[in-house]
Amino acid sequence: MSTIIRNGTLVTMNSRRDILRADILIEGDRIKEIGELKGYKARQEIDAAGMLVIPGLIQAHVHLCQTLFRGAADDMELLDWLKQRIWPLEAAHDEESLYYSALLASAELISGATTSIIDMGTVRHTNSLFEAVKQSGLRYLGGKCMMDCGDEVPEKLIDSREKSLQESMDLFERWNGQEQGRIHYAFCPRFAVSCSEELLREVSQLSEKFKIPVHSHASENRGEIRIVEKERGLRNDVTAK
Ligand SMILES: [Zn+2]
């Protein structure tokens, strides 16, 4: 499969931040040539005159599992939003609803020029999430959401610490490096409010041992900061008053 994108303005993002008027030849999944490619032919030719041609965007934090909830919980404070709407909705997911939520979210991301994401899954059915990601073509870093405690968390979203860790390691074994390295696993302890200190410490140790990144939330708003300070005696921020 070869593609030429002609006549566009290329925002290269190389070390010199060059912006070029040039054509691009893509063969398979690699950029083969950049320049004036008049004599070249490709199976697919795209005229990008008047357009910018940019590298894929990177979405540094997203929840593919929440796409179907859009508009169902607007204008609420973080913890009310989670307790009253988002956690019950996440708890109601089954394998199929999660798969299609992730697939729809992926399609929306791709249509907005995003090609790489860092995602937080939900607690259950994470294999369905990865099946959708596999099909989407997105470059992915993320995994099962880890929750082993918390106030007003639906029963379906709470694991024992052992189960949360074991399932995460099983998913890491199964999915990390899949699709020619396009899929990467990350531990996803949701936040200090829903993870015991023991769980967080074990995640930290396993992360070091197996070189698995950790993706979490911290300092989302003042209410969360206060709870963390009250329950753990620590502030997870340095500047908020
Ligand atoms: Zn988030």
pLDDT in tens, the chain (241 residues): 899 999 999 999 999 999 999 999 999 989 999 999 999 999 999 999 999 999 999 999 999 999 999 998 889 999 999 999 999 999 999 999 999 999 999 999 999 999 999 999 999 999 999 999 999 999 999 999 999 999 899 999 999 999 999 999 999 999 999 999 999 999 999 999 999 999 999 999 999 999 999 999 999 999 899 999 998 888 866 654 4
First-to-last C-alpha distance (Å) of the chain:
56
3-state secondary structure the chain: CEEEEEEEEEECCCCCCCEEEEEEEEECCEEEEEECCCCCCCCEEEECCCCEECCCEEEEEECHHHHHHCCCCCCCCHHHHHHHHHHHHHHHCCHHHHHHHHHHHHHHHHHCCEEEEEEECCCCCHHHHHHHHHHHCCEEEEECEECCCCCCCCHHHCCCHHHHHHHHHHHHHHHCCHHHHCEEECEEECCHHHCCHHHHHHHHHHHHHHCCCECCCCCCCHHHHHHHHHHHCCCCCCCCC
- Does domain 57-232 correspond to CATH entry 3.20.20.140? yes
**Span from the CA of 187 to the centroid of ligand 1 (angstroms):** 14
- Domain regions of the chain by residue span: 2-53, 57-232
Q: How far is the CA of 29 from the centre of ligand 1 (A)?
A: 31
Residue with tokens 């909830």: 69
Q: Which residue has the tokens 């908020």?
A: 240
Give 162 Cα–ligand 1 centroid separation in angstroms. Answer: 23
What local confidence, expressed as pLDDT, does residue 234 receive?
A: 86
CA-based R_g, the chain, Å: 21
Q: Give the pLDDT confidence score for residue 235 in this predicted structure.
A: 82
Give residue 208 CA to ligand 1 midpoint distance, Å: 23
Decide the pairing of beta strands 188-189 and 145-146: parallel
Predicted pLDDT at 29: 85
The pLDDT of residue 190 is 97
- Going by their DSSP bridges, the two strands 188-189 and 183-185 should be labelled as unpaired
User: Same fold for the domain at 2-53 and the one at 57-232?
Assistant: no
For the structural domain made of 2-53, what CATH number should be given?
A: 2.30.40.10
Query: How many whole angstroms from 118 Cα to the centroid of ligand 1?
Result: 10
Distance 224 CA to ligand 1 centre (A): 13
Give me 85's structure tokens.
């709407």
Residues in the chain: 241
Bridge-based pairing of strands 145-146 and 30-35 is unpaired
Ligand 1 mean position, distance from CA 87 (Å): 12
Alpha carbon of 217 to ligand 1 centroid (Å) = 6
Q: What's the 218 CA to ligand 1 centre distance in angstroms?
A: 9
* β-strand pairing of 2-11 with 19-27: antiparallel
Ligand 1 centroid – CA 18 distance (Å):
34
| Distance from Cα 62 to the centre of ligand 1, integer Å | 6
Give the Cα separation of 56 and 112 in Å (integer). 9
